[in-house]
Structure formats: structure tokens, C-alpha cells
Structure 1
Amino acid sequence: MTPITHPIADVFLLGFIVACSLVTAVFFLKYWRDARDPLFLAFAAFFGIQAIDTSAVLLLPYPNEGDVWLFLMRLLSVLWVLGAILWKNSAKL
């Protein structure tokens, strides 16, 4: 993949995505603190990991969304949320 072609726009947009992900993570942490529902904690972790993952793209010499470690971080965060959803629904059965 090629290096960042529009560095100002790319850094701004990726920074905006990171900021939105962090705000969402804090939002879910607030609800987790009030309700102590593990599903809120799983979503907070998901958005926190996504923020770290997106900011890691900027540190790569050739930003590549297909990087193995970035993919594994995303996969683990999604599996964590899916596991929390399944755990929450299995408690109702």
C-alpha cells in the first residue's frame, strides 16, 4: 500500500474517528458504572480497542488496514462483544 497521500486530511479524519471512539467508550463506561452490566463493559472495551487500533494506523510507515496485528486486534474486540452478548442472552434462558 502507498504512504499517506493527504497527510493533513488523513490525520484529521483518523483523529476524529479516534476521538469519537473514545467518547463512545467513556459513554459505555459511565453506563457500566451505573448498571454493572458486563455488556456495557464489553462495548467500552471494544470502542477503546478500536481507538487504539485506529491510532496505530498512523504510526505505520505504510498505513495498511490489512496489517495482521491490526486485524487480530479488531477480531478479538469483536469476538469479545459477541461473547458478552451470548453470555447475556444465555443468562436469560
Structure 2
Amino acid sequence: MLPTTSSFFTGVLAALYAVAGLFFLGFWRRTRDALFVSFSLAFLLLALNQIVLALGGLEREEQSWVYVLRLLAFLLIIGAIVRKNLEGRRR
């Protein structure tokens, strides 16, 4: 794939992650549910991950420190789901 095509798709993906993060932030503002703010932060971390990849010119993301951003995002999602399920059992 050409470098410009790759950068274009990385930018599109970053924008879509940011839109998803803002979408969940809107849900959080209406409900004040911690699940939505966790999802929002996770998607914003994924957007940041893509921005760093595009601007940094890193070819192998899995061998760089940037992978930690993606790992944190997924840990946030998993933690939010587990927390929500434990809250449901307590009620």
C-alpha cells in the first residue's frame, strides 16, 4: 500500500474513533453512567493511537510503545464492562 494511502486510511480511522468517543460522551452527559465515559475515553485513546501512528511514521506498531495506548483502551473497555456487571449483581 502506498504511504499516502496508508496515511489517509489511518487518518480516517482516527476521525471515526474520535466521533465514536464523542458519541459515547454525549450518552454520558445524558445518563451520567460511568460505562459511557469509559467507552468515550477508550475510543479517544484509540484515536490518539492512530494519530501517533500517522504522524510518527511507525511501520510496525506492535513493536513500539504506541501499542500501550491500544492496550490501555481495551483494558478500559473490559474494566467498564466488568464494573457494570458487578453493579447489576449488587442491586
In the superposition, the TM-score normalised over structure 2's length comes to: 0.88
- Following TM superposition, the consecutive aligned residue runs of length 4 or more in structure 1 with deviations greater than 6 angstroms are none
Would you say the 8 A contact 1:57–1:64 is kept in 2?
A: no
Task: State how many pairs are aligned.
Answer: 89
Q: Percent identity?
A: 33
Cα distance per residue 1:16-39 (max 9 Å; x no partner): 101111111110000000000111
- The one-letter amino acid paired with 2:83 is W
Partner residue of 1:89 out of 82, 85, 89: 85
Unaligned runs of 5+ in 1: none
Contiguous gaps of at least 5 residues in structure 2: none
**In 2, Cα distance between equivalents of 1:80 and 1:89:** 14
Structure with the bigger percentage of helix: 2
- Aligned runs of 1:51-70 on 2, under 5 Å? 51-70=47-66
CA RMSD of aligned residues (A): 1.4
What is the CA–CA distance in structure 2 between the aligned matches of 1:66 and 1:90, rounded to whole Å? 32
